[in-house]
Chain A
């Protein structure tokens, strides 16, 4: 892609990603409802919710919150764009981490016990998923010899064959980042088990809407990263990403919230070992190939 197509592509990505993300969330709610024997809202419900949030009056506690939500949005959008432009995965990860840090700082910026407790819990979650994401990037490098997303598309074989365990760690990451049970410790995605919504306690109205929107982008980003494991044709990647999302929804419905210690233990005791084992096998294979 070159010349005038690139800006068009960027604009397209920025506009279409939330549509896809919102629909996926709607699907999520529908499937969750059916699993619980309810009819559930229409698939377009998240869009109505968003419109409603944006039409509410703005109430904030400190001005830092504004900066926080917009920086969060910007950096996640930026990382989606970088993914779609085939950019450096590691830089993408840094930018994404900036977004998480920004939201956490927004929660810290109000002297509120609930929001700050949520912020600490989000930090602990970050401690669990951030290494997994970074190790995923390292795995991609070891398999392809490049950090650039666009170089993955040059591979003849799907990455899944060399990095099978990372499909599992990506599920963990997805569940943690999307605040799904049993990892919904900083706030719950579908507020089915809480009155005070952790890190989001002090955000309301349009600003909560921005955060919701950012979540949609984030979903697209994470599913896109999972889809990198199967870039040889579109359907392979889509099936892989959607089935991992389905597993996350299933987990969300059948489990309850666990403690942050447990989440940390899963991230470090299950996720990191899986990732490291996969890295080791890739290294061994490379070593054997000379």
Chain B
């Protein structure tokens, strides 16, 4: 009991408390110390939670419920004021709707918001806590040097870092709370806190563009919040309980394919930036890079998919579930296709996130044990790789002063460490036998019960190969015989965080059997009876086998042996073929053009904008996505 209350306290309150401390402490050195300590403590707390296993906790005092209600009112008031300032009737309407629902719940239905136990951590929660604790903390540490640099570039000289770290750490607290909350009422509260933090963090730089993006994120997430509030009222009307676990485990008297669950899914879809709500996540990249890394990997969007995965057992084998699979599958394909046409690295990453979240949602919609295992695995592995990639792009941006992939040509010669780390991140998203691919394999194998989803998965995966490969190709493209590359100088915190995540991506993929058995299988088995994986062999199912370790060994050897054993002598290096008109000296990549003038070789990348571009596809994609949403509600209402 003692341990549990400490644990719950440190997961829920510690980051928020540290954030407040950061806000009031004037010295930046002291503040940075606090931040590092907090991150370490958070990592420790999540590891303890992992070691403890499933736990339950209810605070003894009832004052917390009152505090949450007051905070809810405060948050809604804040959103209303922001909506008023922006003169946005939509935002005000959404806030009013939420307020109305909460009031109706409190006074109309006289709902009992207290649920016993108030906080529950089952294995799904613990898996998510690990993501937030480990990846989130790494991002926070990374942002210490990043924000110092960032503020130097900022035109407004005012030091906003205290506020930044307050929001960042508050975000982690809210995320932990959202994962642990067993009462929908509390879940709603934490949900709104994440919306709040996200809104202010996107607007951090304060430019016109930032505010535009922030407001877009605000109204879309408020729509999700309104869905959650509606769901809460409907659930209580039908089932007379707000307990998440009662609903999930079927103890509550709730119809499987019902409107409340559809509203819950709507909330999940908005937060996880599924089409047609993907606009806010694309806009969110105007925020400083650590914010993007946090939003895309461990918080915010993962809250959305968490909600859907959490409630998936409640709508098993319903049409609602299948429509959800189609919505996710469609987003998976569409976002992957649009990613091909993007030159902006952060935008490519954003589309890749949207696409992967679509895959997770689709897996939850398929709703078989193995599909759910795939979803949980994707959440874990995607978080590591995506945080790594965003952080790497942040560092690259510091080096080449651009987010444009075209400007990253031959980065291996300029920033070898960062380029290597980026390639590891991309490869861990793209190629076997890394974790994301193993999850994708499980997803495709489990999708055969809904062949439409399979076709979507297959096509989307091909698009994925295309945009990642193009990017890696740009990073690798080097002029022959360039001078020996020397490792770039990086801030030690950059170096350590990037290294940590890159190693994490590799090591966790190597230990995928462990990850499966310790985290994924328990998380899925508790609701589905099995996890779809055969226990005797690592990563095998009844219909297939993924020999992870074997592939790892063979492929690593294939990469390492040539690098170690084949010596390339200087005289063996030849310049590229330029129709015999090249200038002969290596590493000169110039050629004789008309009138014998020497010209530099310029190689532009292909983005196939006319084929896969946003302007060509956005309209119909949004139309299809909206239609699918309507079908989802239609199916649920009937």
A→B interface (CB under 8 Å): 57-64, 66-67, 70-71, 73-75, 78, 87-88, 90-91, 94-95, 97-98, 101, 104-105, 107-116, 119-120, 123, 126-127, 130-131, 134-135, 138, 141-142, 145-148, 196, 201-202, 204, 272, 276, 279-280, 283
Instruction: Given A60-B573, A61-B573, A104-B469, answer yes or no on A138-B545 (Cβ-Cβ < 8 Å).
Output: no
Chain A residues, Cβ within 8 Å of B563? 63, 66-67
**Which of the candidate stretches B65-73, B361-369, B498-506, B550-558 sits at the interface with the other chain?**
B550-558
Once A59-B572, A64-B476, A111-B479 are accepted as A-B contacts, the answer to whether A70 and B545 lie under 8 Å apart by CB is: no
Q: Which of A73, A91, A131 contacts B432 (CB 8 A)?
A: A91
B451 CB-CB contact with A under 8 Å: yes
Complex interface: chain A residues within 8 A of B399 (CB):
none
By the criterion CB–CB under 8 Å, are B576 and A61 in contact? yes
> Are the C-beta atoms of A66 and B566 separated by less than 8 Å?
yes
The answer for the CA separation of A141 and B461 in the assembled complex, in Å, is: 18
Question: Nearest B residue to A91 by beta-carbon distance?
Answer: B546
Contacts known (A66-B566, A111-B589, A146-B544); A201 close to B577, Cβ less than 8 A: yes
What is the distance, in angstroms, from B161's C-beta to the closest C-beta of chain A? Answer: 40
Contact A101 B469 (CB under 8 A): yes
Task: Assess whether A123 is in contact with B470, with CB atoms less than 8 Å apart.
Answer: yes
Let me know if B1 is at the binding interface, CB within 8 A. Answer: no
Q: Looking at the assembled complex, report how far the CB atom of A223 sits from the nearest CB atom of chain B, in whole angstroms.
A: 22
Is B458 part of the binding interface, using a Cβ–Cβ cutoff of 8 Å?
Answer: yes
Q: Does B279 contact A (CB under 8 A)?
A: no
Stretch of B197-205, B243-251, B269-277, B440-448 at the chain-chain interface = B440-448
- Apart from the given pairs A74-B557, A119-B473, A120-B606, 12 other A-B contacts in the complex at a CB distance below 8 Å: A59-B572, A59-B574, A61-B573, A66-B568, A78-B551, A105-B472, A108-B472, A113-B601, A115-B576, A135-B455, A141-B445, A279-B451
List residues of chain B with CB within 8 A of the CB of A113: 576, 578, 601, 603
List B573-607 residues whose CB lies under 8 Å from chain A. Answer: 573-579, 589, 601, 603, 606
Count the B residues whose beta carbon is within 8 Å of the partner chain — how many?
59
Smallest distance from the beta carbon of B32 to chain A beta carbons, Å? 39
Contact A131 B477 (CB under 8 A): no
A69 to B, closest residue via Cβ: B562
The CA of A60 and the CA of B574, in the complex, are separated in Å by: 6
Q: How far is the CB of A193 from chain B (nearest CB, A)?
A: 17
Question: Contact partner of A75 among B445, B465, B555, CB < 8 A?
Answer: B555
State which residues 411-458 of B face A: CB under 8 Å. 430-432, 437, 441, 444-445, 448, 451, 454-455, 458
B449 → chain A closest CB, angstroms: 10
**Contact yes or no, A112 B544, CB < 8 A:** no
Which chain A residues lie closer than 8 Å to B558 at the CB level? Answer: 67, 70-71, 73-75
Interface hits, B342-381 → A, CB 8 Å:
none
* Chain B positions within 8 Å of A61 at CB level: 480-481, 573-576
Main secondary structure of the interface of A (DSSP, over half): helix
Q: In the complex, what residues of B have CB within 8 A of residue A135's CB? A: 455, 458
* One of B470, B543, B576 near A147 (C-beta < 8 A): B543
Chain B residues in 8 Å Cβ range of A59: 572-574
Most chain B CB inside 10 Å of its own CB: which residue of A111, A126, A147: A111
Question: Whole-angstrom distance between the alpha carbons of A147 and B461 in the complex?
Answer: 18
- A contact residues around B455 at 8 Å (CB): 135, 138, 276, 279
CA distance A57 to B571 in the complex (A): 11
| Distance (whole angstroms) from the CB of A262 to the closest CB of chain B | 13
Tell me whether A142 and B448 are in contact (CB under 8 A): yes
Most chain A CB within a 10 A radius of its CB, from B437, B459, B463: B459
Find A109's partner among B444, B477, B546, B547 (CB 8 Å cutoff). Answer: B477
Shortest A210–chain B CB gap in Å is 10
A112–B479 Cα gap in the complex (Å)?
Answer: 8
B3 at the interface (CB under 8 A from A): no
9 nearest interchain CB pairs? A108-B473, A112-B576, A74-B558, A61-B480, A147-B544, A134-B458, A88-B544, A94-B432, A109-B476
**Chain B contact residues, majority secondary structure:** helix
Contact in complex: A138, B551 (CB < 8 Å): no
Contact residue among B481, B572, B575 (Cβ-Cβ distance under 8 Å from A58): B572
Nearest B residue to A135, CB-CB: B458
Contact yes or no, A104 B445, CB < 8 A: no
Provide 16 A-B residue pairs closer than 8 Å at the C-beta atoms, listed in order of the A residue: A61-B481, A70-B561, A75-B555, A90-B444, A91-B545, A98-B431, A98-B555, A114-B576, A123-B470, A131-B458, A135-B455, A138-B444, A202-B576, A202-B577, A276-B455, A283-B451
Nearest CB to that of A268 among chain B residues?
B459
Q: Verify B432–A111 contact, CB threshold 8 A.
A: no
With A101-B465, A115-B576 given, is the CB distance from A141 to B432 under 8 Å?
no
Q: Is the CB of B551 within 8 A of A126?
A: no
- Which of A59, A94, A204 neighbours the largest number of chain B CB atoms within 10 Å of its CB? A94
B551 in contact with A95 (CB, 8 Å):
yes
A64 adjacent to B478 (CB under 8 Å):
yes
Cβ of B112 under 8 Å from chain A: no
In the assembled complex, B278 has its CB within 8 A of some CB on chain A: no
If A70-B562, A90-B441 touch, whether A196 touches B577 (CB-CB below 8 Å) is: yes
Given contacts A66-B566, A135-B455, A276-B455, contact A111 B544 (CB under 8 A): no
- A251 to B430 CA separation, bound complex (whole angstroms): 34
Contact across chains for B476 and A131 when beta carbons are under 8 A apart: no
Closest residue of chain A to B476 (Cβ to Cβ) is A109
In the bound complex, CA of A285 to CA of B463 (Å)? 31
**A residues less than 8 Å from B478 (CB atoms):** 62, 64, 109-111
Q: Which of A75, A131, A145 contacts B459 (CB 8 A)?
A: A131
Docked CA distance A70–B556 (Å): 11
Contact B477 A116 (CB under 8 A): yes
* B31 beta carbon closer than 8 Å to chain A: no
Q: Chain B contacts of A201 at CB under 8 A?
A: 576-577
A140: min CB distance to chain B, Å: 10
Q: Are B603 and A111 in contact (CB under 8 A)?
A: yes
Which residues of chain A come closer than 8 Å to B554, judged between CB atoms?
74, 78
Name the contact of A148 in the complex, choosing from B444, B465, B545 (C-beta under 8 A).
B545
Query: A104 to B606, alpha carbons, bound, how many Å?
Result: 14
Q: Looking at B409, B480, B573, which has the most chain A CB atoms within 10 Å of its CB?
A: B480
Q: Does B613 contact A (CB under 8 A)?
A: no
Within 8 A of A (CB), among B473-489: 473-474, 476-481
Contact B568 A60 (CB under 8 A): yes
Given the complex of chains A and B, what is the CA–CA distance between A60 and B64 in angstroms?
69
- Contact at B545–A97, with CB atoms within 8 Å? no
A282 shortest CB reach to chain B, Å: 9
Taking CB atoms, residues of chain B closer than 8 Å to A280 are 451
Q: How far is the CA of A131 from the CA of B466 in the complex (A)?
A: 12
How far is it, in angstroms, between the C-alpha of A146 and the C-alpha of B445 when the chains are bound?
A: 9
Tell me whether B473 and A148 are in contact (CB under 8 A). no
User: In the docked arrangement, what's the CA distance between A153 and B121, Å?
Assistant: 46
Min CB gap B424→A, angstroms: 14
B315 to chain A, nearest CB (A): 23
